[in-house]
Amino acid sequence: MNTHTRRQFLKNASTALASIAPFSLLPGCALAGRANSACSKKPNIIFILADDLGYGDLGCFGQKLIKTPNIDNLAKEGIRLTSHYAGSTVCAPSRCVLMTGLHTGHAFIRGNARIPLGPEDLTVAEILKHAGYKTALIGKWGLGEPDSTGIPNRQGFDYFFGYLNQRHAHNYYPDYLWQNEQKAPLKNVVRDVNPPGGVAIEKVEYSHDLFAEEAFDFLEENSRNPFFLYLALTIPHANNEAGNKGMEVPDFGPYAAESWPDPQKGHAAMITRMDADLGRIMAKIKDLGIDEDTFVLFSSDNGPHKEGGADPEFFNSAGPLRGYKRALYEGGIRVPTIARWPGKIKPASESDHISAFWDFLPTCCEIAKIPTPENIDGISFLPTLLGKTKDQKQHEYMYWEFHEQGKRQAVRIGDFKGIRQNIEKKPDGPIELYNLKTDLAETKNIATDHPDIVEKITRIMKKAHRPSKEWPFPFE
């Protein structure tokens, strides 16, 4: 996308936000964030995002060794989305897609680089804030460095506590976190390794535990207001700077006596620790009397990693899928996703509706009963959640691009999935084709059997990628 076209596109997004504002506040909600009965009728929205959690890392998605009773119970009380996709196969672009409703062919941030969201970018937080919601991000951001246009408080969040930088977020025992736009010192003592990455030499305060407490405080303080809580946890990402001791956790919990390698004990203990805190959060929602007014969505930003000593094969973290983080095979982008909303979502239900992170923004708009901006790639999947499958609109195609390891593209149309590898060296290289209905593990390349589908996917790959100065492809 050239500069003029991009600016025009972002201008249209800003215009969409301006059109939302006059209609967004219910009667009695003129002062956004002030508690009153009219405001509280808008459903609360909580999005809990794990980091590098694999499709097979949860009991309700087939895990046999790692204990996740609370997340499994979330699935019993809600719906499992078995064909839900992350925005990308790595952190920053996946989170950009989540926030903006644009897939990686259109999103401004398409890779793990220190490129911030701009003032023209329209986020789900900004939309909900204009609709009278109190908005908070607790955890990992990755879409803007300090003092940049991309920091959470300049992208629609009233409150932020956590990490701005992704590498800083590797360390579970940092010597500071950010609270809004100020550093909040912690008691840990850190040795710099690939700054802002580091490894703690004195471990006192575990960042995940701080995030859990911040979430409880936010819920307590805002239970009478409509709120949007984006709880972006770092579990079970590794501290890459700690080598094979990167699965940092205060203790191994129920796995201490297992004969597993320490990194695998750490991996399991991290997930079970996250599970326990999710259980506490759900209990808090019930205690506050807002259970039936609160929509909860749980997911992961990409597939399982092979870093910090972790071995995704040990726990079969990708489940029945092929590939891990940084792959565009299903294991890198299909993520375990659960939604819960008492009285609205049928308990213990399941859907294979094809959806993705870019659908989150329009889904939130429909939940909040506010207009959805134009010029986004997402389609609300609320009808699927509510069991109204006949009303559910479908994507013509799903698209991903990845800008590491030689650059890759992937397209899903119906049951077919096409992948092009190593675009830097072979811009017109062959496309691998798989039928996910009969070959979920993507083991048999059937491209030669379906030249018509390969041709269609080739056209989509060219159409779905808007040229970007920051994220170029050789064929631009």
Sign of CA pseudo-dihedral 77, 305, 178, 99: negative
pLDDT tens digits, residue range 27-83? 334 333 333 333 447 999 999 999 999 999 999 999 999 999 999 999 999 999 999
**Residue limits of CATH 3.30.1120.10 in the chain:** 399-464
Q: Is the pLDDT of residue 327 over 80?
A: yes
The C-alpha atoms of residue 177 and residue 162 are separated, in whole angstroms, by 5
Q: Is the pLDDT of residue 19 over 70?
A: no
Rg (CA), the chain: 21
Position 476 scores a pLDDT of 80
Looking at every residue in the chain, the average pLDDT score rounds to: 93
In this structure, the number of other CB atoms found within 10 A of the CB of residue 321 comes to 24
In this structure, the number of other CB atoms found within 10 A of the CB of residue 327 comes to 23
The C-alpha atoms of residue 256 and residue 103 are separated, in whole angstroms, by 41
Per-residue buried b or exposed e for 255-290, using 16+ beta carbons within 10 Å of the residue's own CB: beeeebeebbbbbbbbbbbbbbbbbebbebbeebeb
pLDDT mean over 175-196: 98
Position 134 scores a pLDDT of 98
Backbone angles phi, psi at 403, to 5 degrees: -115, 30
Domain 399-464 fold: Arylsulfatase, C-terminal domain (3.30.1120)
Per-residue buried b or exposed e for 117-144, using 16+ beta carbons within 10 Å of the residue's own CB: bbebbbbbbbbbbbbbbbbbbbbbbbbb
The C-alpha atoms of residue 275 and residue 233 are separated, in whole angstroms, by 11
Position 14 scores a pLDDT of 45
pLDDT mean over 461-469: 96
Position 21 scores a pLDDT of 45
pLDDT tens digits, residue range 225-241? 999 999 999 999 999 99
- Among candidates 25, 28, 45, 49, which has minimal Cα distance to 37? 28
Judged by average pLDDT, the poorest of 10-24, 167-181, 197-211, 398-412 is 10-24
**Residue limits of CATH 3.40.720.10 in the chain:** 3-397
Q: How confident is the model at residue 15 (pLDDT cuts 50, 70, 90)?
A: low
pTM of the model: 0.92
The C-alpha atoms of residue 108 and residue 97 are separated, in whole angstroms, by 9
Judged by average pLDDT, the poorest of 346-360, 439-453, 462-476 is 462-476
pLDDT tens digits, residue range 107-123? 999 999 999 999 999 99
Is pLDDT larger for residue 39 or for residue 167? Answer: 167
Q: Is the pLDDT of residue 87 over 80?
A: yes
Please say whether the structural domain 3-397 has been given the CATH code 3.40.50.300.
Answer: no
pLDDT tens digits, residue range 366-403? 999 999 999 999 999 999 999 999 999 999 999 999 99
Q: Is the pLDDT of residue 466 over 70?
A: yes
Q: How confident is the model at residue 311 (pLDDT cuts 50, 70, 90)?
A: very high
Position 13 scores a pLDDT of 39
Q: Is the pLDDT of residue 176 over 70?
A: yes
Judged by average pLDDT, the poorest of 1-15, 77-91, 130-144, 453-467 is 1-15
pLDDT mean over 94-118: 97
Q: How confident is the model at residue 406 (pLDDT cuts 50, 70, 90)?
A: very high
Position 24 scores a pLDDT of 38
Say which amino acid occupies 197.
G
